[in-house]
Structure 1
Amino acid sequence: MPSKSSTRLAALTVAAVCSAASTVVLTSPAHAADVAVHDIQGTTRISPYAGQAVTGVTGIVTGVRTYGQSKGFWIQDPNPDANPATSEGVFVFTSSTPKGVAVGDAVTVSGTVSEYVPGGTSSGNQALTEIVRPTFTVVSSGNPVPAATVISARSVPDAYAPAGDPAASNSVNGLTLRPKKYALDLYESLEGMNVQVSDTRVVGATDPFTELWVTVKPRENANRRGGTVYGSYASQNTGRIQIQSLGATAEFPDANVGDTLTGATAGPLDYNQFGGYTLVANRIGTLKSAGLARETTEKQKKGELAVATYNVENLDPGDATFEEHAAAIVHNLKAPDIVSLEEIQDNDGAKNDGTVAADQTVTKLIDAIVAAGGPKYDWRSIDPVNNTDGGEPGGNIRQVFLFNPERVSFTDRAGGDATTAVGVTKDHGKAALTVSPGRIEPANAAWANSRKPLAGEFVFRGRTVFVIANHFNSKGGDQGLTSQYQPVARSSEVQRHQQATLVNAFVKDILATQKNADVVTLGDINDFEFSDTAKILESDGALWSAIKSLPKSERYSYVYQGNAQVLDQILVSPSIRKSCDFEYDSVHVNSEFHDQISDHDPQVLRFEP
């Protein structure tokens, strides 16, 4: 994920170009004297004055930002017009720390109107209207700040965004705002204004960048733990909004999902690269804890095989989280018989020196599990070719099988390595792998700069179980939900669809050889249970995503921008699904907590082979 302090990218303006230093260079700009803020904001997402020099813009300072790459202050006109589509606030970008200006000052501003796109035009993000290269005069101080506009369940429409203009590549930029019809139009009509939310429930825990997500619609797709579930591309959660702070970092609350910010949280409404519309608070409500506890699954019975997947987020020997991961595996997951680990890094982590072995990383985790009272796991994996599987350069993340040798055995078949493709053969009338462990079509372009699936053969109580550990291509590069393009483009899907096709074909090979074979395909699929990626994996009935055995409100393993969603899945072959003797559990130990040790929740499947 890019750093939140990433460089401020070039603004888009009329009659403007971007220099190598990402500054705006105007060519003979037009001038507009004595315009009001609502004139600058206009009734669409792009200012009618973009690229023009303006003078005599008056307003009351509602917030001053002295940190980060986007320093400046917000002003709001205390005398609004009668059009709800036109915002009365705007950000004045000063580049350096603004001096001589404070909240409550009445100011007159001159400068150039700019449309700044956080993340650059390639991100697809909307533009933020600003006044850049400003000069300003403080007319008076100590004035009352314009009353905050309340954002509430009643004011936010249920429809998320209008369809974009096909003639403009589905962009909504040129469309007249309809704030009573679409949530994104409402937020845009309040851009730069002083806004307020009250008694809001946290749906995205405080993250390392000192931000959290709340909802003003507590009943919207709510789950029993206080989150908001993302269950469809067509039905967005419109009540979510990001909260940042204009105050000291130390004063920002450490909130978990389900907690409440009681009272008022108020400040200017901004738009940024990493979440879209954001309330930058100069007043934050009081945190009321909901006492959310980390979940614990059930222990598998003697005749049940417990198989789990757990993304341990770039784990390497230098990390301080081994004891916590071990405790989660032993106590919260109840020591599954087989654990597929994703994002195990090599022995020196992200140091880019050609190291690919991860035996020290895995051994350190196994030892920590024993120290936590768990079993002495054995393990299997295949070292990748250096820097070919994506992730942090030099980290060489890969999937690893842990298994409890007192409960399950691994069938080793020699010859598996980073570049050799695993196949399916028949052994004594039953399916078998040609190599175990082995990788599925590692040379196929579908796996370029991405993790290759790891297939292994296990035996539990005399029954062979094939397990395929996956870590599909990430969603990096997809347009955000608040993109100017509606519906948004999900470019990263292309590679995941290719990957799903290969895994589905491999499972079909196993089932064609042995119709009743037990196959478990699991891991960080990086896509939703309702996605086309999941549908391709499931095609022709080869697999079924077992998380769909849970109620819709309980289907999530990850929380992103306040949306509780599925990324991690365990898919099973027909013999397992039809038996009805399985239990599925998404064990929420990370995604909802500010002190998470990974951003993913592990998943556990228990069944009788």
Structure 2
Amino acid sequence: MGAFGVSAALGATLLVTSPFSASAADTGELRIHDIQGNTRISPFRGEQVTDVPGIVTGVRTYGSRGFWIQDPRPDDDPATSEGIFVFTNAAPTVAVGDSVTVSGSVTEYYYGGVARGDTSLTQISRPTVSVVSSGNELPAPVVLDAGAIPARYAPEGDTADGNSIENLPLEPEKYALDLYASLEGMNVQVEDAAIVGPSTAYYELWVNVQPELNATSRGGTRYASYEDPNPGRLKVESLVPVGQAPFPTANTGDTLSGVTAGPLDFDEFGGYLVAARELGTVTSGGIEPETTRAQERKELAVAAYNVENLNPGNDQAKFDRLAAGIVDHLASPDIVALEEIQDDNGAVDDGTVSAEQTLTRFTDAIVAAGGPRYDWRGIDPEDGKDGGQPGGNIRNVFLFNPDRVSFTDRPGGDATTAASVVKERGKAALTHSPGRIEPADAAWNASRKPLAGEFSFRGTPVIVIANHFNSKGGDQSLYARYQPPTRSSETQRLAQAELVNSFVRDIVRVQKNAQVVVLGDINDFEFSGTTAALTSGGVLRSAVYSLPAADRYTYLFNGNAQVLDQTLVTPGIKKFDYDIVHINAEFADQASDHDPQVIRFKP
């Protein structure tokens, strides 16, 4: 019965021998739990079913239009869901509380296509619907709270089936993903739920019904390891179209107060979600953007900030907010490594690669915000070779305050020329500054190349390497039908990390006590293989471990606060003060989707 007392393209047809006769399907003897079965795939996939009864528990008139029905007469099997989605394509004509019978084809829908790897959604398609009566009481919702969700996340996939879990019998008492699958399409409820992912432009937010697990210091939920993906997270969407009722604005740390109830659904952008027929109200948790302290006179402050596709086509408000982040919240660092600086016409794909206009407008905005007149250094990429938004030609750039620090220019660096390390007056020096690290290596195909530069602070040389590694695009999701999910994008990041590590080894080999800062959007976690490759041999250490665990996050994805941006230093930097400044990721109103980071030390 799914509950056990707890307080677009169709997929390819899979022929499964049904435990029921064809005549049973034809004569309307099937119930929803028979169709759902005790695995993720219906035993009636591809078959026609007739007069399946149920009560309408939710109606969706936008997107994937249809309605959910639930059988008020459940069986006694906790693995079989009593709810199912009826895909109508057009706006449904039924209403919540209608008792209906549905005939149609049983299908398995894979959001994003079968190859994406996500689990499927069992539904009845091309339906014929008859309303038997209206105004019926809805089946009682299954309450999803801290005690309802199993501690174990998912079973190990069947190795004979490519690590797939979709044909394994569901064990909802044992695994969280199996619990959700066993409740697919059923009426569920959360109450006074912790909001762990802010509302978005797509009218959604994330809650966690187990907020005590891996809690951040500001009311969120931290992604602490691959083995601990936080099973209590659920996305919440409203079944009321936005034009009829506004979706609430919410930040991490707020509470979705009262009752939120509706069918349990699944989509490609957030996995399992509550399609809210009834939506709670947002109670503020009161978090505010953070401000870091200013560097002392003898401290060098080096920051990194992903400014999310900044280009002259952005409105002035974005430039002003990013500038205020630099001045007011980061206290005007001496050096700022920027990621995602686009060319002078943004996503227009006409061969433009210069970013002079972008950087002029940004540095002007910083001055207007009360900050210093930053100078900058960068290398224009080859057109279309560095990935990111097509036509945007994103790249890494250094800003630096010439009143506090000087840049050591060594000419010859360009998009395709590799910088190397030499000894000059007993110190490690770059052959090209600014320069790129092995730009022709296949590790950087369709990805940003690291930007290396030499700086001098109070007479001491410091080498800074700005990075923006390959994105996680193409990885299987935490909700995938393959468990554990495959992180295919990590292969390229590992190769990138090895090249950066090798370059830093060259520096330290020339000068054992060289002071090197490697920072930026690494696009991987502090516990990842990518970080292990960066720190291999002890040539670098990640500064994120200097923070309490509850403060280790720079990005938020599907309700998981996580480290994607990192700062690493060589042993020559013995003492430092590191801060992740939370000003964006937790907020519905954000200037960028990343939080900046800053490290201070005395060279």
> Which residue identity does 1:508 align to in structure 2?
R
**461, 485, 492: which is aligned to 2:458?**
461
| Equivalent residue, structure 1, for 2:568 | 571
| Per-residue deviation, residues 160-208 of structure 1 (Å, max 9, x unmatched) | 0010111111111111111111110111110000100000010000011
SS in 1 for 2:535: helix
Q: Which among 154, 165, 168 is matched to residue 147 of structure 2?
A: 154
What is the 5 A alignment of 1:232-381? 232-249=225-242, 250-320=245-315, 321-381=318-378
2:511 aligned with 1:517, yes or no? no
Task: Measure the CA separation in 2 of the matches of 1:32 and 1:421.
Answer: 70
Letter in structure 2 aligned against 1:199 = D
* Match in the other structure for 1:393: 390
1:15 to partner: Cα distance: 5.2
Name the amino acid aligned to 1:148: P
Instruction: State the Cα deviation string for residues 143-171 of structure 1 (Å, max 9, x = none).
Output: 11111111111111111001011111111
Task: Give the counterpart of 2:203 among 210, 213, 220.
Answer: 210
Secondary structure in structure 2 of the residue aligned to 1:575: coil
The alpha-carbon deviation at position 285 of structure 1 amounts to: 0.8
> Post-superposition shift, 1:248?
2.8
Question: 1:416-454 CA deviation, whole Å, 9 max, x = no partner?
Answer: 100100011111111100000000011100000000000
The alignment's TM-score, normalised by the length of structure 2, stands at 0.96
What residue in structure 1 maps to residue 5 of structure 2? none
**Residue of structure 2 equivalent to 1:508:** 505
Deviation at 1:91, TM superposition (A): 0.2
Counterpart of 1:11 in structure 2 is: 11
Partner of 2:559: 562
Which of the numbers 90, 96, 105 marks the counterpart of 2:90?
Answer: 96
State the match for 1:83 in structure 2.
Answer: 77
Please state whether the residue corresponding to 1:574 is helix, strand or coil: coil
* Structure 1 segments unaligned to the other structure (5+ residues): 1-7, 17-27
The residue that corresponds to 2:190 in the other structure is 197
Q: For each residue in 1:34-56, what CA deviation from the matched residue of structure 2 results, as whole angstroms up to 9, or x when unmatched?
A: 21000000101001111110002
Deviation string for 1:498-547 (max 9, x for gaps)? 00000000000000011100000000000000100000000001111101
Deviation string 1:103-124 (CA, Å, 9 cap, x unpaired) is: 1110000001001111111111
Among 117, 122, 133, the alignment partner of 1:140 is: 133
Task: Please say if 1:48 is aligned against 2:26.
Answer: no
Query: Equivalents in 2 of 1:273, 1:439: separation in Å?
Result: 37
- How far did residue 555 of structure 1 move? 0.5
Please state whether the residue corresponding to 1:129 is helix, strand or coil. strand
Distance 1:548 1:418 in 2: 34
- C-alpha displacement of 1:238: 1.1
- Structure 2 residue 538 is matched with structure 1 residue 541: yes
Equivalence for 1:20: none
Q: Distance in 1 between matches of 2:255 and 2:483?
A: 31
Q: Secondary structure at the match of 1:191?
A: coil
Partner of residue 5, structure 1: none
Secondary structure in structure 2 of the residue aligned to 1:119: coil
SS of the residue 1:222 aligns to: coil
Cα distance in 2, alignment partners of residues 519 and 492 from structure 1: 27
* Secondary structure, aligned partner of 1:133: strand
**Compared CA separation, residues 117 and 30, structure 1 to 2 (3 A):** farther
> Is the 1:15–1:29 Cα contact (8 Å) retained in structure 2?
no
Q: 1:477 to 1:451 in 2, by over 3 A?
A: same
Q: Which runs of 4+ in 1 moved over 6 A?
A: none
The aligned amino acid for 1:10 is: L
The match for 2:105 is: 112
2:3 paired residue number: none
**What SS class does the counterpart of residue 103 from structure 2 fall into?**
strand
The reply on whether 1:71 has 2:65 as its aligned counterpart is yes
State how far apart, in whole Å, the 1-side matches of 2:432 and 2:219 are.
Answer: 46
Alignment correspondent of 1:4: none
Opposite residue 65 of structure 2, the aligned amino acid is: K
Which secondary structure does the structure 2 equivalent of 1:329 belong to?
Answer: helix
Q: Give the aligned residue type for 2:447.
A: S
Whole-Å Cα distance in 2 between the matches of residues 9 and 210 of structure 1? Answer: 24
Distance in 2 between residues matched to 1:83 and 1:239, nearest whole Å: 23
Aligned residues of 1:29 and 1:51 also touching (Cα < 8 A): no
In the other structure, the counterpart of 2:492 is: 495
Partner secondary structure for residue 130 of structure 1: strand
Query: What does residue 19 of structure 1 align with?
Result: none
Q: How does 1:590-605 map to 2 (within 5 A)?
A: 590-605=584-599
> Counterpart in 1 of 2:158?
165
Give the structure 1 partner of residue 601 of structure 2: 607
How far is 1:29 from its partner?
13
Q: Is contact 1:205-1:593 (8 Å) kept?
A: yes
1:30, 1:52 within 8 Å by CA — same for their partners in 2?
A: no
Deviation sequence 1:54-98 (CA, Å, 0-9, x none): 002000011111111x11110000111111111000000011112
Work out the CA distance in 1 between the residues paired with 2:330 and 2:595: 11
In structure 1, what is the Cα distance between the partners aligned to 2:324 and 2:396?
A: 20
Which amino acid counterpart does residue 493 of structure 1 have in structure 2? E
SS class of match (1:61):
strand
The CA distance in 2 between the partners of 1:586 and 1:373, in whole Å, is: 22
Rounded to whole Å, the distance in 1 between the matches of 2:396 and 2:27 is 62
Q: Deviations over 1:213-247 (max 9, x none)?
A: 00101201111200001110012201110001101
**Distance in 2 (alpha carbons) for counterparts of 1:366 and 1:445:** 33
Q: Distance in 1 between matches of 2:400 and 2:26?
A: 71
Q: Which among 401, 404, 426 is matched to residue 401 of structure 2?
A: 404
Return the letter of the residue paired with 2:104: G
Distance in 1 between residues matched to 2:258 and 2:249, nearest whole Å: 17
Contact 2:10 2:107 in 1 (8 A): no
Counterparts in 2 of 1:30 and 1:525: CA distance versus 1, 3 Å: farther
1:381 positional shift: 0.3
- Does the aligned pair in 2 maintain the 1:423–1:433 contact within 8 Å? yes
* Preserved contact between residue 62 and residue 241 of structure 2 (Cα < 8 Å): no
- Structure-1 separation of matches of 2:473 and 2:143: 34
User: Is the CA contact 2:61–2:241 (under 8 Å) kept in the aligned structure 1?
Assistant: no
- 8 Å CA contact 2:10, 2:108 repeated in 1: no
Contact 1:384 1:418 in 2 (8 A): yes
Pick from 17, 29, 38 the counterpart of residue 33 of structure 2.
38
**What's the CA shift string for 1:256-305, capped at 9, x where partnerless?**
00000111000111010111111010111111001110000010000000
Choose which of 177, 180, 183 in structure 2 pairs with 1:187.
Answer: 180
- Write out per-residue CA displacement over residues 549-600 of structure 1, whole angstroms, 9 at most, x where no aligned residue: 1111111000101000000000000111xx22x1010000000000011110
- In structure 2, what is the Cα distance between the partners aligned to 1:348 and 1:223? 39
CA distance in 1, matches of 2:26, 2:329: 64
CA distance in 1, matches of 2:123, 2:23: 16
Q: State the shift of 1:30 in Å.
A: 11
Please state if 1:529 is matched with 2:521: no
